[in-house]
Copies of this chain bind each other. A is one copy, B any other.
């Protein structure tokens, strides 16, 4: 098999590979994975169609890289909050901070999130990556809470549920689709719900 996938070492090449990933990111976000073809990605990245296959095994391989980037972007800002945490925990502030961080992440990445997440049911690797992301976040948060002395029943369930709820809110909030919803009021509802969840 003569298939040689370049692992670029030089700056220019790294740039080029990143440009392709970036192009994939933007086009998948805008049009979806299935509505984007490799020629478009190449053109958007300012490279030839051929070189795409110098850096990636196939179109799906680009997807996987885009996914990795997204996962980092989604994971880091929220987890950073737990690095600088005071004891005793102030849940109200903590929750508000996580909500705001999540909304911020969503503002920049909602479209790609949709595009990627829509593949979870038909692409096992993509599905697993999302599961892993959720698991990593849950586990990390549980650990952080425990270290700060919070240690109640059903902690994994609570954290996971909280995350889901915040995700849902962030999604709604960013798309701002329902004219009958005041997202600031909803935000208050989310905080109230989560406070009660953890105050137990």
Contact residues of A with B, CB < 8 Å?
Answer: 2, 4, 31-32, 34-35, 37, 39-40, 43, 111, 114-115, 117-122, 131, 134-135, 138-139, 153-154, 156-158, 160-161, 164-165, 167-169, 172, 177-178, 180-183, 185-186, 188-190, 192-197, 200
Contact = CB atoms under 8 A, between A and B. Distances in A.
A168 B157 contact: no
A154 B118 CA distance: 31
A108 to B, nearest CB: 15
A161 B193 contact: yes
Indicate the member of A114, A120, A138 with the most B CB atoms within 10 Å: A114
Contacts of A192: 196-197, 200
B37 A2 contact: yes
B122 A119 contact: no
Contact of A193 (B43, B169, B193): B193
B2 A39 contact: yes
A3 to B, nearest CB: 10
27 contacts: A31-B122, A35-B122, A114-B120, A117-B118, A118-B119, A118-B121, A139-B180, A154-B185, A156-B182, A157-B181, A157-B186, A158-B189, A160-B172, A160-B186, A161-B168, A161-B186, A161-B189, A161-B193, A164-B165, A164-B172, A167-B168, A189-B197, A192-B197, A193-B193, A193-B197, A195-B196, A196-B197
